[in-house]
Amino acid sequence: MKLKAQLTLSAILLAAAPPVTLAGSLECQGNIISPGITEAELLAACGEPTSRDGSELIYRMPGDLPMVVVLGDDGVVTFIRDATDLDSPASPLGDSP
């Protein structure tokens, strides 16, 4: 019986936790978005971004940090970073934000 109570408590805590953002990824409606997907796939999973700045799409998810998704010239996601991390490069090429 004690194990059942622990499992129930664990399930409640997991359900109440904010979405997890892995380094270089973004979670939208249960989908993990990673570099390599197309802009069309990104928009289908996450909807329109909160704002756009050239090739950078900014998403602000409830209970999570704003995330910047960088698109390459071919419309494929090349890089994802925390929008508040000013020391992080905007792309793997080392461009600064």
pLDDT in tens, 4-43: 655 554 445 444 443 444 458 888 888 888 999 999 999 9
In a domain, 38, yes or no: yes
For residues 29 and 13, is the Cβ–Cβ distance under 8 A? no
Q: How confident is the model at residue 97 (pLDDT cuts 50, 70, 90)?
A: very low
Angle of CA points 76, 82, 84, to nearest 5°:
135
Residue 6 lies in a domain: no
* Residue 58 included in any domain: yes
Task: Specify if 2 maps to a domain.
Answer: no
In a domain, 36, yes or no: yes
Q: Is residue 12 part of a domain?
A: no
Question: What pTM, to 2 d.p., does this model score?
Answer: 0.62
Residue 5 lies in a domain: no
Q: Is there a domain that residue 4 lies in?
A: no
Q: Find the domain containing 58 and state its range.
A: 19-82
Q: Which pLDDT tens digit goes with each residue over 39-87?
A: 999 999 999 999 999 999 999 877 777 889 999 999 999 999 888 765 5
CA distance 69 to 55: 8
- Total domains, the chain: 1
